[in-house]
Amino acid sequence: MHHTFQPTLAYATEMDQQDPLNYFRSQFHFPQHQGKDVIYFCGNSLGLQPKNAAKAFETELNTWQELAVGGYFNGTNPWLYYQEYLKPALSKLVGAKESEVSAMNALTVNLHLLMLSFYKPTPGRYKIIMEAGAFPSDQYAVETLVRHFGLNPDDTIIEIQPLDGSKTLTTQQITDVIKATGSQLAMVLFGGINYYTGQYFDLATITKATHEVDAIAGFDLAHVTGNIPLNLHDWEVDFAAWCSYKYLNAGPGATGGYFIHEKHVTNSSMNRLAGWWGNNESTRFKMEKGFIPKQDASGWNISTAQVFNMTALKASLEIIDKADIHALREKSIVLTNYLAYLLQQLTNINFEIITPADPAQRGAQLSLYFKEKGKEIHSKMIESGIIVDFREPGVIRVAPAPLYCGFTDVYRFYEILKTNF
């Protein structure tokens, strides 16, 4: 879709009126600032609360109240199968078969568990490639995984840095390092989108290059799931994990999700740390020794489903499923392009958009790098009813999530920046 953008409220209003997804805005609660909805561009950190969440919690509270332990087998949504209810929508978002996805724990816990399944260092093949400046949690997870095997992180972890003068990586750079590491490479663990720069990586090409040297391709998709449609199955990604509180709007600390490719999930001898929720329901209550995993991604489930941590996720996924991830992505590209266009009209503040200009290399987030006064400007934005976040050193992350943000929000943001700074 090509648009002749205009820096006017009339244009933004018209765009919202023509937007078939505009209806979904009314399905979310917005924090208030001086009696109006805030401009909420922080869905890349925590999504807004879906209005259907309260009723969803009430349903499960009623089941617990009325049936107690009976809720596992009866009630509106029998708890025994709770993670199963999330799979149809999750599999569509990441381009997987339902048998390749599940939900449990939280993001970094799942990354640890999956890496322990897939990382099999040998004296010749033990290196791990990740992007420099990955999210700290990922850095800590990989560092401690490596130490767990008695290896030295400095010798084991290869971090790919942007070339001089650049703030982002090129796909060529990444695949070159993969090729150069060759038979020493055990695993690639990249963030699908770099949290700081907002750069979306070419996961298909990275996976292909990784497999060409017989290594494992794994991704942290915290900033991608619910933001950009994926094809994890077709790309033959080995494993991936994501959280549910950003673009999936499932609330703080909501249960994380993960993907394991079909070629691995049917392999019962595949190493894993197991618990009874990964065992078959039909034999679960026999309480016998000997773990026989389910023949799908749920074979990695460990503990009883965290029902209340999945309740808002189930509710939000119903909304996202109706909106359709492909339609959301189409809107998101135009919305983010409009944001970039308006920001380029500003002459009164000095910043650089470090997120790639090519929409294929970014999601809903633009990272604005301020050489000076970033923190002050951020505080001023907050005072003006704009919710965005600040990341050291000097980046303000602006993410209009297409499910509940519109063109008028983007215009109001620009107008505040133009007049108040």
Contact present, 259 and 100 (Cβ < 8 Å): yes
Q: Is the peptide bond before 31 cis (omega within 30 degrees of 0)?
A: no
- Mean pLDDT in residue range 281-287: 79
Q: For residue 365, is pLDDT > 80? A: yes
191 CB contacts (<8 Å, ≥6 apart)?
A: 131, 134, 135, 138, 201, 219, 220, 221, 222, 223
The CATH superfamily assigned to 9-44+324-420 is: Aspartate Aminotransferase, domain 1 (3.90.1150.10)
- Which pLDDT score is estimated for 165? 86
User: Domain residue spans in the chain?
Assistant: 9-44+324-420, 57-321
pLDDT in tens, 148-174: 999 999 999 999 999 988 999 999 999
Chain position carrying tokens 């549910």:
244
pLDDT in tens, 168-195: 999 999 999 999 999 999 999 999 999 9
Q: What is the pTM of this model?
A: 0.96
Share the mean pLDDT of the chain: 95
More confident residue, 2 or 373: 373
1 pLDDT tier (thresholds 50, 70, 90): very low
- Which pLDDT score is estimated for 275? 87
**Cα distance between the two ends of the chain:** 32
- Mean pLDDT in residue range 266-284: 85
Q: Which of 222-226, 377-381, 413-417 has the highest mean pLDDT?
A: 222-226
CATH class of 57-321: alpha beta
Q: For residue 38, is pLDDT > 90? A: yes
C-alpha closest to that of 297 among 255, 246, 261: 261
Proportion of the chain above pLDDT 90, given as a percent: 89
b or e along 304-335 (b: 16 or more beta carbons within 10 Å of the residue's beta carbon)? ebbbbbbbbbbbbbebbeebebeebbebbbbb
Tokens, residue 403: 């499910």
Chain position carrying tokens 């489903």:
305
- Mean pLDDT in residue range 291-300: 91
